[in-house]
């Protein structure tokens, strides 16, 4: 009996749905059990790094956490140990290769192995291009690109020897779609995306899974420690609103759960938030249109003048007004939860 066109389409759709379901089932059956795994997370004393450390701790993983400042690192260590996790906390500036190599050596000496590396350390500088200096670009590249490279290359011989492991690279939607007033950040994250995707193509045959994470905006509370230039109070308001509003930013705990799940499954790419997925797809199809649209957005962002002090940067805590603080109230709660106010 000859089937109609509609029946054929239904049959094809059912077959594809079954295949996708079986593929997902196979992934879950082969998902990595995190209990006892040693997870090294850079930039893990505050923000998203701390949220991921908490989630890995819930999964019974052993943790290596690092950050540049000792006080928030010690606070994070105490919290994670109170959750029952075995934790090695070490101060490390990932922009310094020798410090990264020391950290990896300490981790291997302490635990005897490293199973998962999460390259998360980051910095954000917000402001128009005319306020940015060469140092701003260098600092972003040093931490978010070279820090990722240094850490990966330091751990890679160990992973290669064992022919297994996970490398999880936290990049950003800014590495795919270049939003205005974030140019140094965008450049570093774009380099990080390229490095991460290239790693996957090189290492997959060796049993090492590389997961490229592309988050959209997340309520981590990091806006209070981001740096601002130009009209700093105005820059704080627009960036802080975007990074804290429930309409634009995902809860950081949910984001961490998604990242840990992607790590277990060894996903090639994980884009977090529907808006980030739409932005990457639209930019992929219509890159010129996206760039033109964002140039219009840039016209509505705070402007600055040529005064020398416009190039001076200050943290969000130093830049905000009382109105700005009230407008980002949800972000304040996230900042307190994720220890953004603990500093040496």
Joined tokens for residue 201: 């193509």
Q: Given its phi and psi angles, is residue 192 left (phi above 0), alpha (psi -120 to 50 degrees) or beta?
A: alpha
* d(C-alpha 196, C-alpha 212), whole Å: 6
Q: Is residue 211 part of a domain?
A: yes
Specify the number of domains making up the chain.
Answer: 1
Joined tokens for residue 233: 């109070």
Q: Is residue 316 part of a domain?
A: yes
What pLDDT, on the 0 to 100 scale, is given for residue 325?
Answer: 85
Distances from the Cα of 138 to the Cα of 27, 59, 183, 309, angstroms: 40, 37, 12, 20
Angle between helices 147-162 and 183-203 (to 10 degrees): 10
Mean pLDDT of 112-122: 98
Mean pLDDT of 1-27: 56
- What sign does the CA torsion over 96, 97, 98, 100 have? positive
Joined tokens for residue 34: 């995190």
Q: Is residue 290 part of a domain?
A: no
% residues pLDDT > 70 (the chain): 90
Joined tokens for residue 119: 């390259």
Q: Is residue 287 part of a domain?
A: no
For residue 226, the domain's CATH number is: 3.40.50.720
The residue from 185, 228, 236, 341 that is catalytic is 185
pLDDT digits (tens, 9 = 90+) for 172-217: 999 999 999 999 999 999 999 999 999 999 999 999 999 999 999 9
User: Residue 342's pLDDT band (boundaries 50, 70, 90)?
Assistant: confident
Neighbours of 182 (CB within 10 A): 20
Q: Is residue 298 part of a domain?
A: no
Q: Rounded mean pLDDT of the chain?
A: 92
Neighbouring residues of 151: CB distance < 8 A, sequence distance ≥ 6: 40, 42, 94, 100, 104, 117, 119
Task: Tell me the residue range of the domain where 121 lies.
Answer: 32-276+309-337
* d(C-alpha 217, C-alpha 273), whole Å: 8
- Among all chains, which residue has been given the structure tokens 């090492």? 208
- Among all chains, which residue has been given the structure tokens 């306020």? 131
Concerning whether 145 is annotated as a catalytic residue, the answer is no
Instruction: Please tell me the least confidently modeled range out of 27-36, 257-266, 314-323.
Output: 27-36
Residues in the chain: 344
Q: Is residue 165 part of a domain?
A: yes
User: Residue 138's pLDDT band (boundaries 50, 70, 90)?
Assistant: very high
Q: Is residue 314 part of a domain?
A: yes
Joined tokens for residue 183: 């140019």
- Among all chains, which residue has been given the structure tokens 């309520």? 219
pTM of the model: 0.90
- Among all chains, which residue has been given the structure tokens 């109070």? 233
Neighbours of 221 (CB within 10 A): 28
Instruction: Please tell me the least confidently modeled range out of 16-25, 91-100, 181-190, 302-311.
Output: 16-25
Q: Is residue 129 part of a domain?
A: yes
With CA atoms as reference, report the closest residue to 107 among 126, 92, 124, 127.
92
- What sign does the CA torsion over 44, 49, 55, 61 have? negative
Mean pLDDT of 219-236: 95
Answer whether residue 295 shows pLDDT above 90. Answer: yes
With CA atoms as reference, report the closest residue to 274 among 223, 317, 214.
214
């Amino acid at each position: 009996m000859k089937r109609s066109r509609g029946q054929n389409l239904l049959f094809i759709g059912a077959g594809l749905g079954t295949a996708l379901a079986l593929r997902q089932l196979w992934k879950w059956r082969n998902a990595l059990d995190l209990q006892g795994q040693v997870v090294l997370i850079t930039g893990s004393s505050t923000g998203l790094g701390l949220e991921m450390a908490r989630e890995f701790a819930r999964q019974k993983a052993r943790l290596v956490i690092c950050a540049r400042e000792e006080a928030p690192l010690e606070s994070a260590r105490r919290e994670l140990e109170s959750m029952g996790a075995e934790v090695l906390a070490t101060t490390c500036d990932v922009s310094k290769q020798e410090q990264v190599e020391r950290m990896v050596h300490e981790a291997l000496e302490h635990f005897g192995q490293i199973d998962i590396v999460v390259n998360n350390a980051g910095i954000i500088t917000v402001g128009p291009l005319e306020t940015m200096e060469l140092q701003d670009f260098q600092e972003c590249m040093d931490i978010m690109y070279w820090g990722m490279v240094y850490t990966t290359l330091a751990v890679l011989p160990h992973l290669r020897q064992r022919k297994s492991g996970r490398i999880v690279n936290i990049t950003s939607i800014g590495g795919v779609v270049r939003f205005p007033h974030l140019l140094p950040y965008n450049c570093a994250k774009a380099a990080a995306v390229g490095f991460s995707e290239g790693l996957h193509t090189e290492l997959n045959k060796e049993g090492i899974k590389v997961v490229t994470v592309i988050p959209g905006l997340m309520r981590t509370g990091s806006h209070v420690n981001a740096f601002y230039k130009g009209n700093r109070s105005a820059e704080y308001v627009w960036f802080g609103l975007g990074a804290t509003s429930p309409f634009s930013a995902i809860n950081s705990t949910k984001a961490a759960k998604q990242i840990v799940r992607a790590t277990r499954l060894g996903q090639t790419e994980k884009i977090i938030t529907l808006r980030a997925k739409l932005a990457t797809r639209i930019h992929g199809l219509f890159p010129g249109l996206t760039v033109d649209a964002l140039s219009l957005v840039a016209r509505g962002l705070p402007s600055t003048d040529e005064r020398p002090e416009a190039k001076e940067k200050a943290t969000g805590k130093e830049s905000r007004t009382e109105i700005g603080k009230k407008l980002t109230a949800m972000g304040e709660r996230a900042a307190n939860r994720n220890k953004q106010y603990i500093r040496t």
